[in-house]
C-alpha cells in the first residue's frame, strides 16, 4: 500500500510535467491545482509528523510530563486544524 505522501508527490510531479509540456499560462487552473497539491502534501506531512510525535510520547515511559504532553497536544491540534483548512 502506497503512502498518501507518495501519492501526492507523484500527482504533483505528473501535474508539473503536464503544465510544462502544455506550457500552461500562469493563471491556468492546472497551476492552481498544482499549488493546492503542494499545500496538501505539506498538510499531510505535518499531520504524519504530529501523529508520530504523539505515538512516540504515548508509547514512551509511564511517566507523564505535563509540559511535554501539552506540547505534543498543541502540535497535534495545530495539525488537525490545518488539515481541516481552518488555519
pLDDT, tens only, 25-79? 777 787 788 888 888 888 888 888 888 888 777 777 666 678 888 888 888 888 8
Query: Cα–Cα distance between 27 and 25 in angstroms, integer?
Result: 6
pTM of the model: 0.64
Collapsing DSSP to helix, strand or coil, 1 comes out as coil
CB 49 within 8 A of CB 82: no
Decide if pLDDT at 1 tops 60.
no
pLDDT at residue 2, rounded to an integer = 66
The Cα–Cα gap between 31 and 70 comes to 39
Query: Which structural domain range is residue 35 located in?
Result: 4-83
Query: How many domains does the chain fold into?
Result: 1
Per-residue confidence (pLDDT) for residue 54, from 0 to 100: 82
Q: Are 82 and 41 in contact (CB under 8 A)?
A: no
pLDDT digits (tens, 9 = 90+) for 74-87: 888 888 888 777 76
Amino acid at each position: 500500500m502506497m503512502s498518501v505522501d507518495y501519492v501526492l508527490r507523484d500527482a504533483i510531479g505528473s501535474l508539473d510535467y503536464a503544465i510544462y509540456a502544455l506550457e500552461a499560462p500562469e493563471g491556468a487552473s492546472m497551476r492552481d491545482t498544482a499549488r493546492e497539491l503542494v499545500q496538501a502534501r505539506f498538510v499531510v506531512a505535518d499531520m504524519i509528523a504530529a501523529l508520530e510525535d504523539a505515538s512516540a510520547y504515548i508509547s514512551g515511559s509511564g511517566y507523564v510530563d505535563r509540559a511535554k504532553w501539552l506540547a505534543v497536544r498543541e502540535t497535534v491540534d495545530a495539525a488537525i486544524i490545518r488539515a481541516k483548512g481552518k488555519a
